[in-house]
Amino acid sequence: MAQFMDVHHGMKGITADQLMEAHKADLAIQSEEKVTFQRAWADPASGEVYCLSEAPSAAAVQKIHERAGHPADEIHPVPLSV
């Protein structure tokens, strides 16, 4: 398993409820690709959303995000962290 940070652009105006619903939609199916979404942070002003996950691959992260209705614009492995 590796850690990934994915980024969604264009989510301007996202609300706390919408972020929670999107996260729940990921959690509901994530085990089918062996992904674990850990955290998500959103900036409603700029529309940037960041999701931290553990997954076997970036493709697995994207499969879950796509099936949940919100494909990521960038997915980066982040093997280094402090």
- The binding site for a copy of itself (CB under 8 A) comprises 3, 5, 14-16, 19-20, 23, 39-46, 48, 50, 52, 74, 76-82
Q: How far is the CB of 5 from a copy of itself (least distance, A)?
A: 5
User: What gap in Å lies between CA 67 and CA 62, rounded to an integer?
Assistant: 8
C-beta of 47 vs 71, nearer to a copy of itself: 47
Closer of 52 and 67 to a copy of itself (Cβ): 52
User: What angle in degrees, to the nearest 10, is found between the helix axes of 58-67 and 16-29?
Assistant: 120
CB of 32 to a copy of itself, least distance (A): 20
Q: Which residues of 26-60 are buried (b: 16+ CB within 10 A; e: fewer)?
A: beeebeebebebeebebeeeeebbebbbebebbeb
Both tokens assigned to 66: 């796509």
Residue 1 CB, nearest approach to a copy of itself (Å): 15
- Residue nearer to a copy of itself on the CB measure, 19 or 33: 19
